[in-house]
Amino acid sequence: MALSPLQRDAQVVRRAAENALAGALATAGAQLDGDRRCERPELNLVATITPVRWAAIATQLDQGKGSELRPLGGHRPKFCSAFSSCALAVNTFGLFEPTRALPVPEAGSFPGGVEFEAQRSAGVRGYKPNLDLVAEPASGAWVFAESKCLEYLRPHATAFSDTFVSKARKLFSTETAAVYAAFAEDRDAAANGYELLDAAQLLKHFLAAKLASASERKVTLAYLFWEPADADDHTVFAAHRDEADQLAGVLTDDHVQLMPISYRDVWAYWEQLGDADLAAHAAALRARYDVSIGAIR
């Protein structure tokens, strides 16, 4: 697959971001291998995730289909990576056990804790989207979330068939269903406008969120993404944000919304809530992930 100029720039930025995130994990005391992975998953946790909480989360990860905690092909577990999107999600949202409500900027507060690596139906036989986390209170609105660390800086080719288009026509308005049809018709990134964003994956997740809203429940599909502290100095991050906002703008529905939001914006929101524990948690997350990648030569 030939890369566009933007995608080639993203590869260069990705390597700098990998170095920065690996450096932060090493500074925290982890010994990294050639894959930039620490020896054990628990060494990739921030200090505010307690051993008891980690034990509960690890059970959920083991039940997911992402094989996050298993060594594969002679490599340490994926969760051990300095730029694991699953570890980023767990570190950020692992604090929210069942007794602590999850505050999400612009979406609300979700009591009852969170579940990681959750599969939810998109209404298509043989396929269930794997969501990085969900919050599903017994009453009220829900949130589904997809977590990205550096994935959007790498080339990707997520499968997308006409089956998803057919399902969208049954569930959505004509305008939103047309988004699915147009995407299926032209998968070329330069043509469809999504050179960095994995739009195919989010369109599938949006179907799952719609099915979850069948009883007129409001469901937010949060697209969570990492950016460096100096994101404004690198145009690739603005381009990615624009693509995410573009998709969110065309996916209209009375009960489901796609909400792109950076992890840094989530941390900043928590810092101003006046919750000392949450502020300390945000500080631990910034120490681990809020790094600059510097000038690219």
pLDDT above 90 (res 65): no
CB atoms inside a 10 Å sphere around CB 98: 10
Q: What is the pLDDT of residue 188?
A: 65
Q: What is the pLDDT of residue 8?
A: 95
Phi, psi (5° rounding) for residue 103? -90, 125
Q: What is the pLDDT of residue 274?
A: 96
- Which are the contacts of 214, defined by CB distance < 8 A and separation ≥ 6? none
Closest C-alpha among 154, 160, 295, 141 to residue 228: 295
In this predicted model, which residue has the larger pLDDT, 123 or 14? 14
Structure tokens at 121: 């139906």
Taking residues 206-227, report their average pLDDT.
94
Residue 126 banded pLDDT, cuts 50, 70, 90: low
- Write down the mean pLDDT value for the chain: 93
CB-count exposure of residue 162 (10 Å: 0-12, 13-18, 19+): exposed
Residue ranges in 42-161 assigned as alpha helix (H)? 51-63, 85-93
Structure tokens at 72: 């594969």
Residue 80 banded pLDDT, cuts 50, 70, 90: very high
Residue 216 banded pLDDT, cuts 50, 70, 90: confident
- Which are the contacts of 115, defined by CB distance < 8 A and separation ≥ 6? 60, 133, 134, 135, 136
Residue 63 banded pLDDT, cuts 50, 70, 90: confident
Q: What is the pLDDT of residue 189?
A: 59
pTM, entire model: 0.96
Taking residues 185-210, report their average pLDDT.
86
Distance CA 215, CA 150 (A): 35
Share of the chain above pLDDT 70, in %: 97
Integer Rg of the chain from CA: 19
CB-count exposure of residue 23 (10 Å: 0-12, 13-18, 19+): middle
In this predicted model, which residue has the larger pLDDT, 66 or 116? 116
- Which are the contacts of 194, defined by CB distance < 8 A and separation ≥ 6? 243, 246, 247
Share of the chain above pLDDT 90, in %: 82
Q: What is the pLDDT of residue 128?
A: 80
Q: What is the pLDDT of residue 95?
A: 96
Taking residues 52-79, report their average pLDDT.
91
Taking residues 162-176, report their average pLDDT.
94
Q: What is the pLDDT of residue 12?
A: 96
Closest C-alpha among 6, 8, 2, 20 to residue 226: 20
Phi, psi (5° rounding) for residue 112? 100, 5
Q: Report how far Cα 231 is from the mean position of its chain's Cα atoms.
A: 17
Q: What is the pLDDT of residue 191?
A: 62
Q: What is the pLDDT of residue 202?
A: 96
Distance CA 76, CA 81 (A): 8
How open is the CA angle 237-243-246, to the nearest 5 degrees? 140
Distance CA 182, CA 33 (A): 43
**Are 216 and 171 contacting, i.e. CB atoms less than 8 angstroms apart?**
no
Q: What is the pLDDT of residue 125?
A: 74
